[in-house]
C-alpha cells in the first residue's frame, strides 16, 4: 500500500503532526510540495473524500485478504511461518497506525477478515514488540 495516492493523504498529514520541528520543516520544504500538503490537510475534514480513500485502501488489500483467507495456505503469507512478505506487510500496518481511521476502517475491517485475522496472529506471535508500535 506504500506510495499509493489514497494512502498519502491519510498518512502524510498525520506524520507532519507528530514529527519534530526539523523533520517537519524538511518534509514541507523538500519532500512534499506545500500545495499538495494543504490538499492533504483539507481532506482530513472531508468525510466523503476520506470514505473514498478508505474504500480504495481496502480494495488494494483485497488480493492479500484472499490469500490470507485461504485455509490451505496457513496463517501467514508464506504458510505456517512468517516470511519476508509478512514482515513487509506488517511494516505497512505499523506505518498505518499513525492514523486510527486506517486501522479501524481498513486493517480491522470486517470486509477484510483474512487481513484482520492475520494482524491479530502477527501481533500475538511476539515477533514484534507491541510497546514499540506507535499508538495515537
Q: How many residues does the chain have?
A: 136
82/73 Cα distance (integer angstroms):
11
- Neighbouring CB atoms inside 10 A of 105's CB total 20
Model pLDDT for residues 77-90, shown as the tens digit of each residue:
989 999 999 999 99
> Is 80 exceeded by the pLDDT of residue 7?
no
Q: So what's the pLDDT on residue 3?
A: 47
Give the CA radius of gyration of the chain.
Answer: 16
Model pLDDT for residues 57-70, shown as the tens digit of each residue:
999 999 999 999 99
**Helical H segments across the chain, by residue range:** 8-18, 21-26, 34-43, 47-69, 84-96, 100-102, 113-124
pLDDT tier for residue 2 given thresholds of 50, 70 and 90: very low
Q: So what's the pLDDT on residue 35?
A: 81
Q: Is the entire prediction scored with pTM above 0.85?
A: no
**Mean pLDDT for all residues in the chain:** 87
Amino acid at each position: 500500500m506504500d506510495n499509493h495516492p489514497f494512502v498519502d493523504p491519510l498518512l502524510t498529514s498525520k506524520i507532519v503532526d507528530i514529527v519534530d520541528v526539523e523533520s517537519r520543516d524538511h518534509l514541507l520544504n523538500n519532500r512534499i510540495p506545500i500545495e499538495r500538503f494543504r490538499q492533504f490537510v483539507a481532506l482530513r475534514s472531508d468525510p466523503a473524500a476520506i470514505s473514498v480513500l478508505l474504500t480504495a485502501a481496502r480494495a488494494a488489500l483485497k488480493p492479500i485478504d484472499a490469500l490470507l483467507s485461504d485455509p490451505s495456505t496457513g496463517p501467514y503469507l508464506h504458510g505456517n511461518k512468517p516470511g519476508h512478505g509478512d514482515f513487509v506487510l506488517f511494516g505497512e500496518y505499523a506505518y498505518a497506525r499513525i492514523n486510527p481511521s486506517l486501522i479501524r476502517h481498513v486493517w480491522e475491517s470486517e470486509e477484510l477478515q483474512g487481513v484482520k485475522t492475520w494482524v491479530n496472529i502477527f501481533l500475538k506471535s511476539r515477533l514484534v514488540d507491541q510497546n514499540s508500535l506507535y499508538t495515537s
